[in-house]
Amino acid sequence: MLFISPSTYIAAVLFLCLMGFLYWAILRGMVNTPSEILPTVQFFSVFWIPVFFVVPLLTMRSIAGERSIGTLDTLMTTPTSRVAVILSKFAGAYLFYMLLWVLTIGFPLLTEKLYPHAAESGALLELAPLAGSFLFLATSGLLFISIGIFASSVTRSQLVAGMLTFTTLFVVIVGGQQISNLADANGDLASWMVATVNYLQIFEHLDDFSRGVIDTRPFFYYASTSFLLLGLSTLVIEAKA
Amino acid sequence: MEITPSIHVKDLTRQYGALTAIHKVNFSVNPGEVVGFLGPNGAGKSTTMRILSGIMSATSGSAWVGGICVAQNPHEVKRKIGYMPENNPLPDDMRVVEYLRFRARLKEVPGRKLRASVQEAMEICDLARTARRKIIGTLSKGFRQRVGIADALLGNPEVIIMDEPTIGLDPHQIQGIRKLIDNLRGKHTVILSSHILPEIERSCDRVIIINRGRIVATGSSAELREEFLPGNRFSLIVEGSDTDVAICLAQRGLEASILESTPLADNRSQLILRVENEGDLGSQLIQALGKHKDFTLHSIAPRVPNLEEIFLAATKRSWEETIETKPKITA
């Protein structure tokens, strides 16, 4: 259903337009004020902008849409297990999300093609930060998409699902940073809380990954929370099909 | 023991909070039978069907499909059931053939049989030539229903459950669906629900009447007729007075009573007679009433009570019973 519905393609076009614009803006910024940070790293540090709208658009329909038109009922009468239903919904949205990110490699490639002299330094397509950033996107995507799937499974309204996804994503992405800001201001956070907050800091994870520091803790964080959310979604559709 | 019934339901109860949707429903359906589920809106037809297809769980009681308990092994039961829900939800953006192939894969139709079984289902439902590559969203209501039925047929299930298959169709389309159901008789066990009575009467071997969550009556329409509206009924138009007719019938030894008398124009009236005697009543009545000086017989026709009347009588009786039982408890 994802690949034949127009909303998917609208999300994709919006995403690529926005990301293209951001990439262009970053390059322009580099021209005006040379920076130490690689354009790729800068580009991926704004990953949260598209996540806020692409993830809700991709996932809100998945189960809420099926429930509201009633096809969830027909799906439930087939000998397909609930787990398979949730996992396939998740896989569809996740793969599409990753496909969109992979397409953004086109931006540096295009730049290199059109302005070969600009790319002489090799800064545009440096492999390590690119690979690190993609690894980060792939793991954090697990969590983001499963948030969307869960939000979609609890309601029959796509709008509610979309809003729920958006607000949850906002809390998850920005929340960790805000807590640590709060802690900086007060400066009296217990040491175990510092550890917890750092564990939840998505931006910190991105920094580590793009610098090539691959820690297992973020992997565990994203995998376990998405596993939990998908499990809950399975229970939800089991209970209120 | 003889054959296992395709569907067996025992003391099935489902409550939505304080509301009891169905209460201790019992029935069974034999293989190859076409059974109609009849009841007013909100009687519990859809609830029963949803429990049978394993979408919803019952509050208490049990249901078996093909000898397998729905609550204990829902996965296995789903292999035996083709279910078409109320309002027949379909994805609007897919093509008919794509949708059916997708459904067939979900129903574990093996890969090499996939094309053949989709083609077969489409041919049974008359979709193969006309609507094969059409987008479902653009189909007319009749075709949408056909797609729903074709979907229910995929995977050759033992039991086919259809919730209001003819809702919102025009008479031509209803006839088409009825023919289709006739074709399924004997090959599959079919349960369909409706509140359109003539449709059920024509296409079903047996009728289960359900009202306010309870089964009120079951049987073929002839059996139900015998139970709820016994005796032979005739409708006649006579010119003259009712009492003369009654006297004349009594003289001839016919135990008849006039149930209804509707006055028509020109001193005529339409009478509905209930005659208790056996034998060839039509000719006896014509002989009795044909030549009489006090009144003139204009027409006579046997009146077979249709399902509508049976249904009204049965549901009325169930209302009376539920009302009667309440004071008994308090007294």
List of domains in chain B: 7-227 (3.40.50.300), 230-302 (3.30.70.260)
Average pLDDT across chain A, whole number: 84
Residue A43 has pLDDT above 90, yes or no: no
Q: Give the closest-approach CA distance of A65 to chain B in angstroms.
A: 10
A70, B108: Cβ pair inside 8 Å? no
User: What pLDDT digit, counting tens, does each position of B84-138 carry?
Assistant: 888 888 988 888 999 999 999 988 888 888 999 999 888 888 888 888 888 998 9
The residue among A165, A157, A170 whose CA lies nearest residue A63 is: A157
Tokens found for residue A28: 């322009």
**Neighbour tally for B10: CB within 10 Å:** 13
Contacting residues of B for A75, CB less than 8 Å apart: 106
Decide: helix, strand or coil at residue B217.
strand
Task: Measure CB to CB from residue A69 to each of B78, B89, B94 and give the nearest one.
Answer: B89
Give Cα separations from A168 to A8, A55, A65, A205 (angstroms): 21, 11, 19, 18
Provide, for chain A, the percentages of residues in helix, strand and coil under a 3-state DSSP scheme, each rounded to the nearest 5: 80, 0, 20
ipTM value: 0.77
Residue A69 contacts B, CB cutoff 8 Å: yes
**Neighbour tally for B119: CB within 10 Å:** 15
Chain A CA closest to residue B107: A78
Q: Give the closest-approach CA distance of B158 to chain A in angstroms.
A: 14
Give the residues of chain B that fall short of pLDDT 70.
1-2, 278-279, 322-331
Beta-carbon contacts of A223 under 8 Å, excluding residues fewer than 6 positions away, are: A139, A142
Q: In terms of DSSP bridges, do strands B68-69 and B60-65 run parallel, antiparallel, or are they unpaired?
A: antiparallel
A71, B90: Cβ pair inside 8 Å? yes
Under 8 Å between Cβ of A234 and A86? yes
Residue B106 contacts A, CB cutoff 8 Å: yes
Contacting residues of A for B85, CB less than 8 Å apart: 70, 73-74, 77
User: What pLDDT digit, counting tens, does each position of A145-186 carry?
Assistant: 999 999 999 998 999 999 999 999 998 888 877 777 776 666
Chain B CA closest to residue A84: B106
A75, B106: Cβ pair inside 8 Å? yes
pLDDT reported for residue A233: 93
Tokens found for residue B210: 């359900």
Task: Measure CB to CB from residue B53 to each of A4, A71, A77 and give the nearest one.
Answer: A77
Tokens found for residue A133: 């950033």
pLDDT reported for residue A189: 58
Distance CA B205, CA B31 (A): 12
Decide: helix, strand or coil at residue A192.
helix
Q: Give the closest-approach CA distance of B122 to chain A in angstroms.
A: 18
Beta-carbon contacts of B39 under 8 Å, excluding residues fewer than 6 positions away, are: B45, B193, B195, B209, B210, B211, B315
Under 8 Å between Cβ of B88 and B144? yes
**Neighbour tally for A90: CB within 10 Å:** 22
Query: Given the structure tokens 């906002």, which residue do they identify?
Result: A170
Contacting residues of B for A241, CB less than 8 Å apart: 55-56
Query: How many Cβ pairs closer than 8 A exist between chain A and B?
Result: 51
Q: Could you tell me what percent of chain B has a pLDDT over 70?
A: 95
Q: In what order do the strands lie in the sheet with B256-263?
A: B256-263, B268-275, B232-239, B296-302
B89, A70: Cβ pair inside 8 Å? yes
Q: What are phi and psi of B162, to 5 degrees?
A: -125, 125
Under 8 Å between Cβ of B103 and B154? yes
Q: H or E segment at A221?
A: helix A216-239
pLDDT reported for residue A183: 67
Q: Give the closest-approach CA distance of A107 to chain B in angstroms.
A: 32
Q: Give the closest-approach CA distance of B93 to chain A in angstroms.
A: 7
* A171-A173-A176-A180 Cα dihedral, nearest 10 degrees: -120
pLDDT reported for residue A154: 92
Residue A70 contacts B, CB cutoff 8 Å: yes
pLDDT reported for residue B328: 45
pTM here is: 0.80
Chain A CA closest to residue B86: A70
Distance CA A189, CA B177 (A): 71
Chain A CA closest to residue B78: A79
DSSP string computed for B7-50: EEEEEEEEEETTEEEEEEEEEEE-TT-EEEEE--TTSSHHHHHH
